A and B are shown apart, each in its own frame.
Chain A
């Protein structure tokens, strides 16, 4: 294992975060705070409790997931796309480093950033609404699992994209709608029966449901199903990355 190379990539990527602190951390925190103001205070005050939890408190796990999902994808996709764009990828490809180690460096850094961001948003949420986390270990486990899985997904998008437009396309057109429709702001029990079935096809539902369970012990689907679905998506992303490196897809001619 070339641990020095993994460390070099990891620290290089983390250094980029500190250089772009406003964009990486401050901007998501500000937008999440705005969600709290709009949905939590303005609209939430007119909504009765959801399954025994005030609406403002209810949306906290969903909002954290919303940021963690989008930021994991953005961080990891940009992290690998930018060297492709500038051409500096030649150095990564010619270094004595395995594909697994490359992924570990990039995805590790992207996931770390999202986890830090998730925890900052959690702390920010604590300023707006009272919070109680029933299962902190599970909460962290879901956070890490989601950050890693979607960083892997972002890595795949970064390799696939051959322009900045494509880099934005999947997050904008697929991930954001899935996240909004995945129960960030409501319980899927609130949906009509037919739509509830449709919602169950959305993988994000399982992430948010499991994450919310770790906070308030309320869930749309059982926790084991949440873990199972997230792990399945993780395995799917790992498989895709294994295939990318084996074939050199969009990396090697």
Chain B
């Protein structure tokens, strides 16, 4: 798959001397949903701001659709729609006026049909004549998405799109993002909500302290770094475990009613067969087993801790 965004050796040092980005190299594939994860202050917003033209890079090069964001900024920027993290909206303009303004700003001829479609897709059509100040926070967020989509961008940046919105609205937003992807738009989202990345993304990048720690297909990442947990529900409670089971580093939980065994899916041998055999030899009987896979959140926390 070809890259729609190509970031090479990008660094950003603020006037204060703070290095927000350190030699970032990143390619975003056309048509994918890419989730950029990172703790607060990791450099997510700085990276997006540079790609979109809001901040100047200190070093490095960024291409959007093959166009350099500095020397060919008109072409590059016209491909991008940006929904920033903060709710920055006008107050006294109508929804229709502000979305139409954005289209004009990006140099596109008037197209009321397109604006109508965008507003309908985002369930804003019945609010089109309302002043923005009268809208709820969730609606304002959608107005910002509508503004970003007004000029038919090929790439959409969503910086923390669901920060502070309720669960129902968040799921609605996910639907919108999926529909956009189906229409061919590449989506880059930053998020604190790991479940959001887990739910939405094709690929995941993790940024920490201004450096890209990892970029991986979500499925591969889950598989590669994911750990599984086997929970053994015992027939009777046990107070201690025999030495023959020490090698498995089992945790005795629920007052001795369950045994928990963590194993690595990367390993050729998971150790489950021998564990079950050793349990039987030790005379520990069980009546149920279940396994769970570690979430992206666990993986993320591990990565950030070790990077």
Residues of the B chain whose Cβ atoms lie less than 8 Å from the Cβ of A95: 77, 105-107
B52-80 contacts to A, CB under 8 A, are 52-56, 73-78, 80
A38-73 contacts to B, CB under 8 A, are none
**B88 contacts A5, C-beta separation under 8 Å:** no
Residues of the A chain whose Cβ atoms lie less than 8 Å from the Cβ of B75: 96
Nearest-neighbour CB distance to chain B for A1, whole angstroms, equals 10
Residues of the A chain whose Cβ atoms lie less than 8 Å from the Cβ of B76: 96
Nearest-neighbour CB distance to chain B for A6, whole angstroms, equals 9
**B78 contacts A96, C-beta separation under 8 Å:** yes
B193 beta carbon closer than 8 Å to chain A: no
Most chain A C-beta atoms within 10 Å of own C-beta, residue among B73, B75, B76 = B73
Question: Known: A15-B97, A90-B54, A248-B56. Contact between A96 and B106, CB under 8 A?
Answer: yes
State the total of A-B contacts with C-beta under 8 angstroms: 79
In the assembled complex, the Cα of A9 lies from the Cα of B98 at a distance in Å of 11
Nearest-neighbour CB distance to chain A for B122, whole angstroms, equals 17
Question: Known: A5-B105, A95-B105. Contact between A90 and B84, CB under 8 A?
Answer: yes
Residues of the B chain whose Cβ atoms lie less than 8 Å from the Cβ of A253: 14-15, 49, 55-56
Interface size class of A (residues with CB under 8 A): 20 to 34
**B101 contacts A86, C-beta separation under 8 Å:** no
B120 beta carbon closer than 8 Å to chain A: no
Most chain A C-beta atoms within 10 Å of own C-beta, residue among B82, B107, B108 = B107
Question: Known: A15-B97, A86-B90, A253-B14. Contact between A91 and B105, CB under 8 A?
Answer: yes
Q: From A4, A12, A93, A252, give the contact of B107 (CB < 8 A).
A: A4
Chain A proximity mask over B31-48: 1 for CB below 8 Å, otherwise 0: 000000000000000000
Nearest-neighbour CB distance to chain B for A5, whole angstroms, equals 5
**A19 contacts B109, C-beta separation under 8 Å:** no
Question: Known: A5-B104, A86-B88, A253-B14. Contact between A94 and B77, CB under 8 A?
Answer: yes
A224 beta carbon closer than 8 Å to chain B: no
A72-93 contacts to B, CB under 8 A, are 86-88, 90-93
A97 beta carbon closer than 8 Å to chain B: yes
A91-149 contacts to B, CB under 8 A, are 91-98
In the assembled complex, the Cα of A88 lies from the Cα of B15 at a distance in Å of 23
**B102 contacts A91, C-beta separation under 8 Å:** yes
A8 beta carbon closer than 8 Å to chain B: yes
Residues of the B chain whose Cβ atoms lie less than 8 Å from the Cβ of A15: 93, 97
Residues of the A chain whose Cβ atoms lie less than 8 Å from the Cβ of B91: 86
In the assembled complex, the Cα of A75 lies from the Cα of B108 at a distance in Å of 27
**A252 contacts B88, C-beta separation under 8 Å:** no
Q: From A2, A4, A91, A252, give the contact of B74 (CB < 8 A).
A: A2
Most chain A C-beta atoms within 10 Å of own C-beta, residue among B53, B74, B101, B104 = B104
Residues of the A chain whose Cβ atoms lie less than 8 Å from the Cβ of B248: none
B195 beta carbon closer than 8 Å to chain A: no
B294 beta carbon closer than 8 Å to chain A: no
**B90 contacts A9, C-beta separation under 8 Å:** no
Look across to chain B and name the residue whose beta carbon is closest to the beta carbon of A16. B92
**B77 contacts A252, C-beta separation under 8 Å:** no
Question: Known: A96-B77, A253-B14. Contact between A90 and B105, CB under 8 A?
Answer: no
Q: From A2, A88, A248, give the contact of B89 (CB < 8 A).
A: A88
B141 beta carbon closer than 8 Å to chain A: no
B74-128 contacts to A, CB under 8 A, are 74-78, 80, 82, 84, 86, 88-93, 97, 101-109
Chain A proximity mask over B199-215: 1 for CB below 8 Å, otherwise 0: 00000000000000000
Knowing that A5-B106, A87-B84 touch, tell me 6 more A-B residue pairs with CB under 8 angstroms.
A2-B107, A4-B105, A12-B93, A19-B92, A93-B52, A96-B76
Query: What residues of chain A have their CB less than 8 Å away from a CB belonging to chain B?
Result: 2, 4-5, 7-9, 11-12, 15, 19, 86-88, 90-98, 248, 252-253
